[in-house]
């Protein structure tokens, strides 16, 4: 069945790949981008390919933008927009933690609530939320991002049970490390503030991002979760990341300090 999917964070990375992939498959797509230059760029790419792709401006932190998007006609929300900024929890500036939670949790929750009200009235709909492997396991030096995704997991588990009686489905997608640029810039962000104050910890050890996977695998999985009749509640990829998450969750029960 053809879906009409509203995607947040479609200006780059997974969101952009999913928007184009869905449009190529004949689905109706409302691809939202954070800033106007991204809107222009994605519209141009869709035009070059001859795709029927509606592209709008949606900064999820803007109530005006959220209201505009939620007033459109769609039956599936892909709550995908998110940010990551690295740094040890003991040193992380509060404004960064707030910014991460404002984007990844509170703005995304506003979108989910708006979509849920629409879908409850319709008696059907699906909310797919980009979480992360970081929402399932410890991630040193990315604690704020990880905590935001743990919050996403908690909301989604509750939403799944609360909305099921109304015919509304909830799914999570939990990517590991993929070559979208998201992890690279998230790690580099720490260097913006590290030297601006007195630090009691050492700067993190260099982590070379040489083992990131091809994002096409994750994009294809996202499209399946958005369009298949009975997708899994949780999709974790790549497979080694799923194996690691399962193992670490078990190990935490027996860990001693």
DSSP class per residue in 102-164: IIIIIIHHHHHHHHHHHHHHHT-EEEEEE--GGGTS--TTBHHHHHHHHHHHHHHHHHHHHHG
> With DSSP H G I counted as helix, E B as strand and the rest as coil, what are the percentages for the chain, rounded to 5?
50, 15, 35
Q: Which of 145, 166, 178, 233 is catalytic?
A: 145
Are the C-beta atoms of 129 and 85 separated by less than 8 Å? no
DSSP 3-state of 87 = strand
- 161/154 Cα distance (integer angstroms): 11
φ/ψ (deg, to 5) at 172: -120, 150
Compute the half-sphere exposure of residue 102: CA atoms within 13 Å on the CB side of its CA. 12
Is residue 145 annotated as part of the catalytic site, yes or no? Answer: yes
Query: Which are the catalytic amino acids?
Result: 145
């Amino acid at each position: 069945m053809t879906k009409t999917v509203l995607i947040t964070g479609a200006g780059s990375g997974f969101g952009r790949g999913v928007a184009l992939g869905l449009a190529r498959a004949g689905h109706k797509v409302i691809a939202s981008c954070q800033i106007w230059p991204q809107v222009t760029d994605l519209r141009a790419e869709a035009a070059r390919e001859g795709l029927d792709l509606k592209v709008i401006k949606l900064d999820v932190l803007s109530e005006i933008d959220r209201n505009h998007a939620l007033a459109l006609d769609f039956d599936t929300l892909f709550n995908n927009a998110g940010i990551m900024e690295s740094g040890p929890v003991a040193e992380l500036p509060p404004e960064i933690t707030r910014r991460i939670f404002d984007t990844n949790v509170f703005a995304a929750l506003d979108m989910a609530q708006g979509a849920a009200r629409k879908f409850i009235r319709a008696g059907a709909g699906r909310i797919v939320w980009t979480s992360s492997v970081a929402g399932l396991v410890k991630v040193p030096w990315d604690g704020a991002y990880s905590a935001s995704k743990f919050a996403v997991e908690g909301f989604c588990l509750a939403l799944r049970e609360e909305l099921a009686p109304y015919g509304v489905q909830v799914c999570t997608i939990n990517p590991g490390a993929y070559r979208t640029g998201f992890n690279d810039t998230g790690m580099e962000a720490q260097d913006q503030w590290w030297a601006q104050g007195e630090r009691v910890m050492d700067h993190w050890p260099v982590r070379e991002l040489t083992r990131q996977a091809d994002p096409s695998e994750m994009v294809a999985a996202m499209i399946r979760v958005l369009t298949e009749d009975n997708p899994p509640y949780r999709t974790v990829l790549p497979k080694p990341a799923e194996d690691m998450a399962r193992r670490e969750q078990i190990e935490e029960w027996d860990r001693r300090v």
